[in-house]
Structure 1
Amino acid sequence: MESPVTFDRLYEGAKRFAHLAMEAHAEEDQEVFLLHAGVSVERLAKAALALVHPTLLTEVNGKDDMLLHFAGAVSKPPARLRTIGASTAIGRLRKMDVLPQKLSSEADDLDGLIELRNGVAHLGTGDVEDYLGTFTATVDKLLQNVGRDRGSFWESWSDTAQVVLDDRADRLQKAVRLRMGQARHRFRARFGDLPEGAVDGVAQAVSERGLIVVEVGPAKALFQTLSQCPACEREAAALFLAVGEDSALFDMELAAEGLLCGLCGFHLATTDEVKAVGLPTTLQYSVEDLTQIVAEGPDPAERLATLKLALPIARTDPNDSF
């Protein structure tokens, strides 16, 4: 009778939970990410041990049922299958020089991931540091050990995993590239089965064209305009622009401060991030380009008057009226 605990089953289980972990991370659900990432690491660690010999999955507790079954001495598995836990599996792989040794930062991070997985399972957890890098690096070491290809394991998440593992990019570039990969995956999951025309229809429904006043404050005014999304490449992103109080109303140089796509959810939070994806960081507009005012206030006319007060009017022709 074939054992229900085999390398192939453990490997496929690790792969499935790794994908679920990536999906949870993309949705910024940290608790679900920790749960799935911890299960994935545990199953892949056990798969690595099973590949050497199934007896390495047995606990040393005086009971021989699982040991005899994995050794092939008894064909029928025990009624209750019980293998070692994640910490023991990781400890055995450390003794085999497969995973980082104790007293190293990599080992501490991996232990932290497993401890948080256990904490989420029993009690829940608050805000914690991001363990995506630890998870991806551990999976990569285990895949190398068992001789499995990174691409076939991660499949549609391969680009995201590569971004996380890339040591050449600086922190800002890595963060932007990671969010871009996650947004592309969300776009495929949401719209992959829809015909092209339907996706275009959704893009038009969530897009607001023209230059829109979003907020008028004492120091600056905030606008938004339509932009192509760097992630899903659809014209469905709001590019947020700001202008200081010293700018002329008829000749505004707007600085790009962020972006949010209504289709894939890709977002940028700073001017440096906007620059990192190749979008222009400054754009020229005048008050004549305004198409809508959605900033909070009593009415649009009063909000426009506030904008006029916030920004000086510079006319090229003294006969112009406004």
Structure 2
Amino acid sequence: MDDSLSFESFCEGAKKAAHRAMEDHGREEYDEFALHAGVAVERLAKAVLVSKNPVYIVEIRGNASVDMLFHMGGHRKAKKVRTIGASEAISRLRTLEVLALDKELDMLIDVRNGVAHTGSEEDAKDFLPILAKTVETLLGDLGGPLDAFWGRWTTAARMAVDNKRGEIYRNVQVRIRQAKHRYDDRFSDLPEHLQDRLAVEQLELGGFGVRFAENGVEIAIREPCPACRSAAHVLSVNQGTEETPHFTVIALRCPMCYLKLATRDELEASGVDVKHADDLAAFQVSTFFDGAVPSEKTFRMKIEQFLGTETVDLD
């Protein structure tokens, strides 16, 4: 039988595609993620079928199917190697009661095949749990360990299907793992003690950054990143009045691992102490202004005087 159609080949192909899918998802390249996720499911589904009987991946279509039947049996070589696609592989596994009916899985395969389209790239990111769940089911049938398949992505894959946690928590924890791997990929050649020193020195710089946006003053302070422990920028906005500002933490951006958290709920799910961050932002501002948080108008005027410019962006 053709080595490319062996159980080992399908398993290895599924593993590589699944890892690529995780990397795509972490980079927010969701169209590529859907493509590689679909490939991973197809190849692992075929691995399961081959493990039961190699002829189960033969496409039934005219005389060519007879050639493939003997080809998979190892008795002759087919003129053209043709096997079933992802949808048929899933259908056959449902017949064998390995997989259950799942509209989300069908949609993932349709998107991968170009038969269907998501409303936007953002929508495609929601396929991550179905990828993780399907892989777990197929590996369960094979009796293969999850960590051997996922490697460094095991925690993220487990988190994606952890129904004991809320959706926001699961989503954030997966993104933290993805960001950590991005950091490792960027700085793996840098000695660990230098990475630690860089993170500490950044955090010890203290201070804060200011940006005047359309919605008013925004403040950025430094806090340890939940993913890589480098100095992330934690963004606060005024949720009080212009005369009496009250700065509240609402977002995080890390320049080292590129983790982005966009809401207070996501910050809390990541483990950031938002109350401490609120207090730190207020302390930094009041210290700069000799013990008081000024109005936004005074804030702008003082910062512009301090920098000697009319446009300010310290973040």
Q: Would you say same fold, with TM above 0.5?
A: yes
Aligned to 2:47: 47
Deviation at 1:126, TM superposition (A): 4.3
Aligned to 1:176: 172
| Equivalent residue in structure 2 for 1:154, among 139, 147, 150 | 150
Whether 1:280 aligns to 2:284 is no
Which of the pair is proportionally richer in helix?
A: 2
Whether 1:187 aligns to 2:183 is yes
SS in 2 for 1:119: coil
CA 1:52–1:214: 2 relative to 1, 3 Å: same
Encode CA deviations 1:1-49: one digit per residue, 9 max, x unaligned: 7643110110011001000010001001011111111111111010000
CA 1:244–1:2: 2 relative to 1, 3 Å: closer
Q: Give me the whole-angstrom Cα distance separating, in 2, the residues matched to 1:34 and 1:296.
A: 45
Question: Residue type of the partner of 1:243?
Answer: N
TM-score, normalised with respect to structure 1: 0.80
Question: Residue type of the partner of 1:155?
Answer: G
Name stretches of at least 5 consecutive residues in structure 1 with no aligned partner.
102-106, 307-322
Deviation at 1:124, TM superposition (A): 10
Question: Residue type of the partner of 2:283?
Answer: Y
Q: Give me the whole-angstrom Cα distance separating, in 1, the residues matched to 2:238 and 2:118.
A: 44
Encode CA deviations 1:91-138: one digit per residue, 9 max, x unaligned: 11010001113xxxxx21111111100118x99984334211111111
TM-score, normalised with respect to structure 2: 0.81
SS in 1 for 2:99: coil
Question: Residue type of the partner of 1:279?
Answer: D
Aligned to 1:70: 72
CA 1:202–1:124: 2 relative to 1, 3 Å: farther
Please tell me whether the aligned partners of residues 257 and 270 of structure 1 are also in contact (alpha carbons under 8 angstroms): yes
Encode CA deviations 1:197-228: one digit per residue, 9 max, x unaligned: 5535765898774122222667x532111111
Aligned to 2:20: 20
Encode CA deviations 1:262-281: one digit per residue, 9 max, x unaligned: 11111221222222314233
Encode CA deviations 1:46-73: one digit per residue, 9 max, x unaligned: 0000001101111111321110121233
Please tell me whether the aligned partners of residues 235 and 252 of structure 2 are also in contact (alpha carbons under 8 angstroms): yes
CA 1:113–1:245: 2 relative to 1, 3 Å: closer
Deviates more, 1:153-162 or 1:188-197: 188-197
Aligned to 1:256: 249
Aligned to 2:292: none
Question: Residue type of the partner of 1:117?
Answer: R
Question: Residue type of the partner of 1:150?
Answer: L
Deviation at 1:230, TM superposition (A): 1.1
Deviation at 1:301, TM superposition (A): 1.9
CA 1:216–1:285: 2 relative to 1, 3 Å: farther
Aligned to 1:289: 287
CA RMSD in angstroms comes to 3.3
Kindly, what percent of the aligned residue pairs are identical?
A: 34
Runs of 4+ that moved beyond 3 A: 1-4, 122-129, 197-209, 243-249, 286-291, 302-306
Q: Give me the whole-angstrom Cα distance separating, in 1, the residues matched to 2:300 and 2:45.
A: 55
CA 1:89–1:287: 2 relative to 1, 3 Å: closer
Question: Residue type of the partner of 2:9?
Answer: R
Corresponding pairs, count: 291
The correspondence of residues 187-206 of structure 1 with structure 2, limited to 5 A, is: 187-196=183-192, 198-199=194-195, 203=199
Name stretches of at least 5 consecutive residues in structure 2 with no aligned partner.
290-298, 311-315
Larger radius of gyration: 1
SS in 1 for 2:81: coil
Encode CA deviations 1:274-295: one digit per residue, 9 max, x unaligned: 223142332132645349xxx9
Please tell me whether the aligned partners of residues 253 and 285 of structure 1 are also in contact (alpha carbons under 8 angstroms): no
| Equivalent residue in structure 2 for 1:215, among 204, 212, 217 | 212
SS in 2 for 1:226: strand
Aligned to 1:88: 88
Q: Give me the whole-angstrom Cα distance separating, in 2, the residues matched to 1:87 and 1:217.
A: 49
Aligned to 2:56: 56
SS in 1 for 2:10: helix
Q: Give me the whole-angstrom Cα distance separating, in 1, the residues matched to 2:255 and 2:224.
A: 11
Please tell me whether the aligned partners of residues 3 and 9 of structure 2 are also in contact (alpha carbons under 8 angstroms): no
CA 1:78–1:211: 2 relative to 1, 3 Å: same
Q: Give me the whole-angstrom Cα distance separating, in 2, the residues matched to 1:70 and 1:286.
A: 70
SS in 1 for 2:22: helix
